[in-house]
Amino acid sequence: MPLSNIRVLDLSRLLPGPYATMVLADFGAEVIKIEDPFLGDYARDFEPKVAGQGVMFHSLNRNKTSVTLNLKDEADKNTFLEMVKEADVVVESFRPGVMDRLGLGYETLKQHNEKLIYCAITGYGQTGPYRDKPGHDLNYIGYAGLLQLMGTSDQPPIVPATQIADIGGGAQPAIIGILLALFHRERTGEGQFVDISMFDNVLPWLQALLPGYLNAGIVPERGEQMLDGGTAYYNVYETKDGRYLAVGAVEAKFWKVFCETIGRKDFIARQLEPKESQREMKREIQAIIKKKTLEEWTEIFEPLDACVSPILTFPEVVENPQVKARNMIETIEDEEIGAIKHIGIPIKLSKTPGKIRTLAPNRQK
């Protein structure tokens, strides 16, 4: 496997760090989860549970092993330092300065292993006036200006259903940073510090909007943009049975097919009209979509190139033929605890694919 010679010491908890090390483990890295002997990873206790541990913990910590160390204890601290000598990567998600106060910061660890790659995932990074602030996903996307743009113009900003900053701003940039550092080390023999700020890494999610303000002074309004529901051709419409249809007919050719299919050819030439016209078209399209059920609309649009699709529930997602074909839900059998279902591996490598080899570990005293 591509990372089979890489050893990772994972001091992180909850979502961003464990997700990052999960991906490394899926592709062969030996990930040793180091947990506090008193609390451990809080996600172990999250509901719902299977086999006595939170299902999110099972999902994020597959392919890993676990040990417990009290890093405030001198003997355990020395044990950790010995482990660092044989490690390639350390991942932690404490606030800046915590590891330094424990006597285990990067400057100390690199004295024991000059090739070590040390990745710190924090809310605001190691520098700046916010470095010591507490925060969660909602705070990071709020500071980044993303939360302000989520929702419709007549309602307050909406809380997203998933953790954008944790995964997209923390875990995934950490994976990229670690792999880049490993590539650099392969060429030079040098380790380095990887500073991942979840706040920093949310800002690039605004590529379609923030450059417009930076270079043209355009301040976007919530629910009035091309790709946030402000247009008739990129929107969500309710069906007769209270379900929803996603319309992503951005290109003119898709919009043309959509308009012809719903019997409104007169809308074709109006695709790029101003927002008042967009609102009118949205109202009229909604009235049309409301006349048929989701299943009926799905059957109508299925054979057409229109970028129109049903909005699925979890039970429907799991049974979706595309999800099955891509093996995106995997069932792992264990002799002791039975079967546990996992989200599959989305990065498909033709020569060295990832694999779920083992279930999440129990805490090892």
Residue 239 DSSP label? -
As for how many domains the chain has, the answer is 2
Average pLDDT, the chain: 95
Per-residue pLDDT at 223: 85
Residue 302 has phi, psi (to 5 degrees) of -50, -45
The confidence score (pLDDT) of residue 32 equals 98
Same domain? For 300 and 336 the reply is no
Asked if 249 and 286 sit in the same domain, the reply is: yes
Residue 170 contacts residue 20 (beta carbons within 8 Å): yes
- Segment 206-224, tens digit of pLDDT: 999 999 999 999 999 998 8
Query: Do 181 and 85 sit in the same domain of this protein?
Result: yes
Q: Would you please indicate which residues are annotated as catalytic (active-site) residues?
A: 136, 166
Q: How confident is the model at residue 163 (pLDDT cuts 50, 70, 90)?
A: very high
27/152 same-domain check: yes
Pairing of β 234-238 and β 244-248: antiparallel
Q: What is the pLDDT of residue 226?
A: 82
In 3-state terms, the chain is what percent helix, strand and coil (to 5)? 40, 15, 45
66 domain-assigned: yes
> For 301-326, how does the pLDDT look when each residue is reduced to its tens digit (9 = 90+)?
999 999 999 999 999 999 999 999 99
Residues 6+ apart with CB under 8 A from 51: 58, 336, 337, 338, 340
Q: What is the pLDDT of residues 326-346, one digit of tens each?
A: 999 999 888 878 889 999 999
User: Exposed, middle or buried by CB within 10 Å (0-12, 13-18, 19+), for 219?
Assistant: exposed
- When pLDDT is averaged across residues 239-265 and rounded to a whole number, the result is 98
- At 333 the pLDDT is 86
State which residues form the domain around 289: 234-311
Q: What is the CATH number of the domain that holds 35?
A: 3.40.50.10540
Task: Judge if 246 and 195 occupy the same domain.
Answer: no
Token couple for 189: 């023999």
Q: Which H or E run contains 57?
A: helix 55-60
**Global model pTM greater than 0.85:** yes
